[in-house]
Amino acid sequence: MSITYLKRAERTAESGQDEVRNSVQSMLNQIEHDGDVAALRFARELDNWHGDVLVSDAEVAAAEQAVPEKLKADIRFAHDNIRRFAEAQKATISDCQLEVQPGFWVGQKQLPVEAAGCYVPGGRYSHIASAIMTITTAKVAGVSHVAACSPPKPGTGIPAAMLYTMKLCGADRILNLGGVQGVAAMAFGLFGLPKADILVGPGNQYVAEAKRILFGRVGIDMFAGPTDSMVVADSLADPMIVAWDLVGQAEHGYNSPVWLVTDSESLAEAVIKVVPGLIATLPELNAKSAAAAWHDYAEVIVCSNRDEMAAVADAYAPEHLHIQARDLDWWLARLRAYGSLFLGEETTVAFGDKAAGPNHVLPTSGAARYTGGLSVHKYMKTVTWQRSTRQGSRSVAEATARISRLEGMEGHARTADVRLAKFFPTESFDLTAIE
């Protein structure tokens, strides 16, 4: 392989994690011990929030009146696409049964979890799209109770557009809580909520660490790191579009990696040349994040051919993978590791982030090698069952007894023995282990 890095990342996303982990663990311990009181204390200290935690129906109704009709139409448009895509996903999941031996049936059922907690980021960006992605998908999956929380603005609470979106998507309860305290409130069942069976949604490193620590006690959508994005482009790609797609994702945060993989050195050099100028045109805070991400985490990689480009993409397993190259069907068939795939310059990661339909809660930090993004499947459990006639259980019981004794598990063997003795009292069986 002939791969050249015209730009290499100077940092990784792992720095400072020990300090974050210790801080989050301490907060979770306090909230679990002191309950609502501790969560309220952190809300006052960290979010400067002194109002009610639970959002009332009257507040939601007032928020709906305050949101401009055009914005509501855009939110409904995105919600409809995301809902219909989730419904299509659910249609691919089915119960089944199989008669493995005459008279012995096994099967599976698809059951949604009872309670979900959806974290919706606020802070510098108010992620309306994240509310749509997490709450809508839970409701389509059939989750009975969906709680949603988001950081409140001091003195006013969750912004009106966010409240409208959460209610439209089906949230049963909405909490004016952000950060670790919001995650903990849903996990521990504070403020009258049922304890969440699963916690979902993106957030900052403290939110991600809280979910990581709680995993096992509750389910989570995935272990999340900083968002990342890769563009794979050949010589026919538009350098300006490629550059903007990289910049658009870099503005997520100072540690959000973006990568360009190409077989055209001239394209790579053109992109490297224009990116700083594009970043400079962004609003100040956006530009600061994008500039840091580009300087410290971005990479530009030149390959010899498309097979090398595809191999690099699979090795990085990016959260977002955007192909701007010839023969899109080849890329769709060839690529194996990505959170979500964007084919052609006619689409872009921002479409997927906001309104296209597929979920934007996706695996980061290379996790796309082994998992996909949030979907109705994450809110559901595939459980199995079995039943049998007495005659149908005979061959299964015999095999079970002998295998159990071979493994040294005599108690297991005798649960088979006792059934054979009861169901077939006049018959004898050789149930010793075969060495």
pLDDT of 11 = 73
Residues annotated as catalytic (active site), given as ranges: 319-320
The answer to whether the CB of 186 falls within 8 A of the CB of 137 is no
Closest by CA position to 196, among listed 141, 121, 114: 114
The answer to whether the CB of 149 falls within 8 A of the CB of 117 is yes
Question: What does DSSP say about strands 104-112 and 380-388: parallel, antiparallel, or unpaired?
Answer: antiparallel
Q: What is the pTM of this model?
A: 0.91
Region for residue 257 given its phi and psi (left: phi exceeds 0; alpha: psi -120 to 50; beta: otherwise): beta
Across the range 360-370, mean pLDDT stands at 94
Could you report the per-residue pLDDT of 370-419, keeping only the tens digit for each? Answer: 999 999 999 999 999 999 999 999 999 999 999 999 999 999 999 999 99
Cα gap 421→435, rounded to integer Å: 24
Closest by CA position to 44, among listed 123, 155, 126, 122: 155
The answer to whether the CB of 9 falls within 8 A of the CB of 257 is yes
Delineate the domains of the chain, giving CATH numbers in brackets.
4-15+226-372 (3.40.50.1980), 35-98+113-221 (3.40.50.1980)
Could you report the per-residue pLDDT of 325-355, keeping only the tens digit for each? Answer: 999 999 999 999 999 999 999 999 999 999 9
The answer to whether the CB of 270 falls within 8 A of the CB of 361 is no
**What letters, b where the CB count within 10 A reaches 16 and e where it falls short, cover 154-165?**
eeebbbbbbbbb
The answer to whether the CB of 319 falls within 8 A of the CB of 227 is yes
Could you report the per-residue pLDDT of 274-319, keeping only the tens digit for each? Answer: 999 999 999 999 999 999 999 999 999 999 999 999 999 999 999 9
Give the mean pLDDT of the chain: 95
Fill in the DSSP letter of residue 196: P
CB proximity list for 126: less than 8 A, separation 6 or greater = 150, 159, 161, 162
- Look up residue 135 and give its two tokens: 């709450």
Give me the amino acid identity at 401: A
Q: Which residues pair with 153 in a beta bridge?
A: 157
The answer to whether the CB of 196 falls within 8 A of the CB of 116 is yes
Provide, for the chain, the percentages of residues in helix, strand and coil under a 3-state DSSP scheme, each rounded to the nearest 5. 50, 15, 35
